[in-house]
């Protein structure tokens, strides 16, 4: 009797163990801009690229993949921390196929935004097109694994959205005011609402395509990017307060949207992943994390270079990127990406495990 009970007990333990394994995330699927692009832009005609040195110099084997970083980007670290895989490949990269993408893929495109007008600035992939690629991906996945298994992956996978910075800094504030410019069409609050509506429609589209676990990413303190500090002549190269306030306000709207959609869409688990305060803490107290430099970036002079300019003047680049918060004038180093990813996993994404 006791023996049978022991067997029964062990069997139960085993089933709990198995269900825990199965409850793990099968894949991480990514949409957005350069914060999460792993090289899609290498395969479209645009200048928004980073598939050359010194980009990637601290990546596996020093490969410049098209990530805007000296190494990995935040979604690579998120995928790794959630036990999925150490890096997430780009959908347009022919070196990978559906057997790789079945456990994770990024449709992101550097220099894109929620707004179609933002992706037009440097002729990159608009967000609606990333969604079209995702539909194609679902077809490939069904052909590869069968309907049932593919649907299971889609509903269990973590879907990550990270965009918005470019809508403000590459488009709204950067494009000359004039007929058709967003600055002429919208107040800043109106533009935030316009973007937030697009984010809402995007989440609903993912939901209608079967996604249930979704992370909507907030904006970093974008007024602290080296490019913005360099041009802040009146403000002694401090962070641009106005841009940080816009990021905070927009984050407030996205966070409200997340609350609303969780009530509205049955079965959805939508979280708001907010990098703002963790990022601000790094910028205010860099020494706590072993950083020496926050105002300028590692690559080239660190004041304004990114993409091709970063490569052209790379003889000026720093030797140890781990001492720098920013890798180029617009993007964090791998080390910053890891800290932010760990924070977001602990504060928002751990509930998906």
Q: Which residues bind ligand NAG (CB under 6 A)?
A: 97-99, 116, 128, 144, 198
- Gap between the Cα atoms of 292 and 220, Å rounded: 20
At closest approach, how far in Å is the CB of 117 from ligand NAG?
9
Looking at the DSSP bridge assignments, the partners of residue 332 are 326
Judged by CB, which is closer to ligand NAG: 144, or 277?
Answer: 144
ω into 54 cis (within 30 of 0): yes
Q: How much of the chain is in helix, strand and coil states, percent to nearest 5?
A: 50, 10, 40
At closest approach, how far in Å is the CB of 336 from ligand NAG?
32
SS3 275: coil
- Gap between the Cα atoms of 135 and 145, Å rounded: 15
- Gap between the Cα atoms of 20 and 107, Å rounded: 29
State the catalytic residue, choosing from 33, 93, 115, 328: 328
Residue 94: exposure state from Cβ atoms within 10 A (0-12, 13-18, ≥19): exposed
At closest approach, how far in Å is the CB of 201 from ligand NAG?
8
At closest approach, how far in Å is the CB of 109 from ligand NAG?
14
- Gap between the Cα atoms of 165 and 178, Å rounded: 21
Judged by CB, which is closer to ligand NAG: 81, or 140?
Answer: 140
- Pair of tokens at residue 267: 């079965």
Judged by CB, which is closer to ligand NAG: 86, or 353?
Answer: 86
At closest approach, how far in Å is the CB of 128 from ligand NAG?
4
Judged by CB, which is closer to ligand NAG: 111, or 227?
Answer: 111
At closest approach, how far in Å is the CB of 347 from ligand NAG?
30
Strands (E), the chain: 28-32, 104-106, 158-162, 213-217, 269-273, 326-328, 331-332
Q: Cβ atoms within 10 A of the Cβ of 252, count?
A: 13
33 is catalytic: no
State the catalytic residue, choosing from 33, 34, 37, 162: 34
Q: Are 135 and 326 in contact (CB under 8 A)?
A: no
At closest approach, how far in Å is the CB of 301 from ligand NAG?
37
Judged by CB, which is closer to ligand NAG: 116, or 185?
Answer: 116
State the catalytic residue, choosing from 79, 115, 331, 343: 331
Backbone angles phi, psi at 198, to 5 degrees: -65, -40
* Sign of the alpha-carbon dihedral angle for 163, 165, 167, 170: negative
331 is catalytic: yes
Judged by CB, which is closer to ligand NAG: 87, or 244?
Answer: 87
Dump the DSSP string for 81-116.
Answer: HTTS-S---BTT-TT--HHHHTTEEE---TT--SSH
328 is catalytic: yes
Residues that are catalytic: 34, 328, 331
């Amino acid at each position: 009797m006791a023996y049978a009970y022991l067997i029964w007990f062990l069997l139960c333990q085993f089933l709990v163990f198995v269900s825990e394994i199965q409850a793990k995330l099968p894949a991480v699927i990514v949409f957005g801009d350069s914060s999460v692009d792993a090289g899609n832009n290498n395969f479209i005609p645009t200048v928004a690229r980073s598939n050359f040195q010194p980009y990637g110099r601290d990546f596996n084997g020093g490969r410049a993949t098209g990530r805007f970083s000296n190494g990995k980007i935040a979604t690579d670290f998120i995928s790794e921390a959630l036990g999925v895989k150490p890096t997430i490949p780009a959908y347009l990269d022919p070196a990978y196929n559906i057997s790789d993408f079945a456990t994770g893929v990024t449709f992101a495109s550097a220099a894109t935004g929620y707004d179609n007008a933002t992706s037009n600035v440097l002729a990159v992939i608009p967000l609606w097109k990333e969604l079209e690629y995702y539909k194609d991906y679902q077809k490939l996945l069904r052909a590869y694994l069968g309907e049932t298994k593919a649907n299971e992956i889609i509903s269990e996978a973590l879907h990550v959205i990270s965009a918005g910075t470019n809508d403000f800094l590459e488009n709204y504030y950067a494009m000359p005011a004039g007929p058709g410019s967003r600055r002429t069409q919208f107040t800043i609050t109106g533009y935030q609402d316009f973007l937030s509506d697009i984010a809402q429609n995007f989440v609903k589209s993912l939901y209608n395509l079967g996604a249930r676990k979704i992370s909507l990413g907030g904006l970093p303190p974008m007024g602290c990017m080296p490019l913005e500090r360099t041009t802040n002549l009146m403000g002694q190269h401090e962070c641009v307060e106005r841009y940080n306030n816009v990021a905070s306000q927009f984050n407030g709207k996205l966070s409200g949207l997340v609350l609303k959609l969780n009530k509205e869409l049955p079965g959805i688990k939508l979280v708001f992943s907010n990098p703002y305060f963790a990022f601000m803490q790094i910028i205010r107290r860099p020494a706590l994390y072993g950083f020496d430099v926050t105002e300028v970036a590692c690559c080239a002079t660190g004041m304004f270079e990114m993409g091709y300019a970063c490569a052209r003047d790379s003889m000026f680049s720093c030797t140890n990127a781990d001492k720098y918060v920013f890798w180029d004038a617009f993007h964090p180093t791998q080390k910053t990406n890891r800290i932010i990813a760990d924070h977001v996993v602990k504060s928002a994404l751990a509930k998906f495990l």
